[in-house]
């Protein structure tokens, strides 16, 4: 059996992240160079028109004390509302979706508290967990509804499943 490599698995994860990132940028008024999410290549830092919202892609958060889990997939810094949103995506086994949601929230608990302490802003962790075959938890829609933008749950599931199909195709062919 051929080795699919981590790169293929990361690509599935990154496509779901890029889809979210595109919709966030579109909602907040950040400049987009592409018409469709699947053509979108996220930049490390995007700012909305007027700089009210900054969207960070795959960036470490600098804190006063060392925190091992300090790099969520997407960070939304809303300077006007004084909030931070830490979004972390995972494509897991379908049986582990609920467990993975809890793990993500716990993973960023220290970072959330540190951000709130350092910058006196309300901070929230948003886990976006989709099973490899598209399974989502009952909480999924609630979590995604907190993220700025119009996020179609079926489209996010489809992106994850296409990524899974691609991995299977590479393994079986």
pLDDT tens profile 94-150: 999 999 999 999 999 999 999 999 999 999 999 999 999 999 999 999 999 999 999
DSSP per residue over 137-170, as a string? -TTHHHHHHTSSS---HHHHHHHHHHHHHHHHHH
Mean pLDDT of 77-86: 95
Confidence (pTM): 0.92
pLDDT tens profile 17-72: 999 999 999 999 999 989 999 999 999 999 998 889 999 999 999 999 999 999 99
CB 126 within 8 A of CB 147: yes
For residue 86, give the nearest of 99, 69, 100 by alpha carbon. Answer: 69
Quote the number of domains for the chain: 1
- Whole domain around residue 168: which residue ranges? 5-172
């Amino acid at each position: 059996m051929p080795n699919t490599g981590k790169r293929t698995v990361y690509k599935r994860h990154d496509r779901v992240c890029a889809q979210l990132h595109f919709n966030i940028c579109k909602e907040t008024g950040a400049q987009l160079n592409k018409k469709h999410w699947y053509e979108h290549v996220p930049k490390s830092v995007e700012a909305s028109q007027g700089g009210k919202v900054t969207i960070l892609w795959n960036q470490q958060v600098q804190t006063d004390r060392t925190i091992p889990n300090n790099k969520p997939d997407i960070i939304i810094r809303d300077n006007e509302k004084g909030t931070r949103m830490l979004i972390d995506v995972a494509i897991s086994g379908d049986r582990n979706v609920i467990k993975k949601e809890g793990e993500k929230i716990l993973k960023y608990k220290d970072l959330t508290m540190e951000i709130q302490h350092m910058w006196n802003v309300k901070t929230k962790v948003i886990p976006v967990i989709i099973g490899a075959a598209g399974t989502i938890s009952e909480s999924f829609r609630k979590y995604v509804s907190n993220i700025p933008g119009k996020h179609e749950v079926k489209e996010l599931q489809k992106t994850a499943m296409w990524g899974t199909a691609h991995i299977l195709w590479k393994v079986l062919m």
